[in-house]
């Protein structure tokens, strides 16, 4: 057994290792807070005052790549529709540790950037809404949402007459 292994098995070695792990975690959390603040993103998101629709326990996944399709979020997304935009993002503590950035689940989408909303049904049980939108750099992105109140979401989007032809339901 090496000297390092012997040291880690002592109470002092274990507590030192535990302290290093906690300091590392605190550093990553602090870095993620600074990153979100520098991008103007909230740590504690709130429903906008002018929200037409808001759901705090939505699920969803980005279609950006394989990791984002597999990862996603379950019951920790807040989805809001205002007269100007759709906002998708996690609520605290899921705003920490770069999770929204890793899984591409933090978007503030102007209604004019939405290119389509398609309803999908899986096995006649699960209802998914796939929202395709244009990013500021001109690329398109699709996010799939599982909403408990999908009809209310579609109704809120349908208030904008420009979006009505883009909403495809089954």
Using one digit for the tens of pLDDT, what is the confidence trace for 18-45? 788 889 899 988 988 888 888 888 889 8
| Summary mean pLDDT of the chain | 84
The Cα 158–Cα 152 span in angstroms is 10
Using one digit for the tens of pLDDT, what is the confidence trace for 57-81? 999 999 988 888 888 889 989 999 9
Please state whether beta strands 85-90 and 140-146 pair in parallel, antiparallel, or not at all (unpaired): unpaired
Q: Is the pTM of this model over 0.85?
A: no
Question: For 5-14, 60-69, 156-165, which range has the lowest pLDDT when averaged over its residues?
Answer: 5-14
Q: What is the pLDDT of residue 132?
A: 93
Residue 89, classified by CB atoms within 10 Å of its CB into exposed (0-12), middle (13-18) or buried (19+), is buried
Q: What is the pLDDT of residue 78?
A: 93
């Amino acid at each position: 057994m090496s000297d390092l292994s012997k040291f880690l098995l002592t109470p002092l070695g274990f507590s030192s290792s535990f302290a290093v792990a906690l300091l590392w975690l605190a550093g990553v959390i602090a870095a993620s807070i600074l990153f979100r603040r520098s991008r103007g993103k909230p740590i504690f998101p709130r429903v906008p005052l002018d929200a037409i629709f808001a759901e705090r326990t939505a699920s969803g996944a980005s279609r950006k790549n394989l990791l984002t399709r597999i990862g996603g979020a379950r019951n920790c997304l807040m989805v809001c529709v205002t007269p100007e935009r759709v906002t998708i993002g996690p609520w605290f503590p899921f705003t920490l540790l770069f999770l929204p950035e890793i899984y591409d689940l933090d978007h503030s989408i102007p209604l004019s950037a939405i290119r389509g909303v398609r309803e999908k049904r899986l096995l006649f049980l699960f209802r998914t809404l796939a929202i395709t939108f244009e990013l500021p750099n001109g690329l398109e992105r699709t996010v799939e949402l599982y909403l408990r109140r999908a009809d209310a979401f579609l109704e809120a989007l349908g208030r904008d007459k420009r979006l009505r032809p883009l909403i495809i339901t089954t």
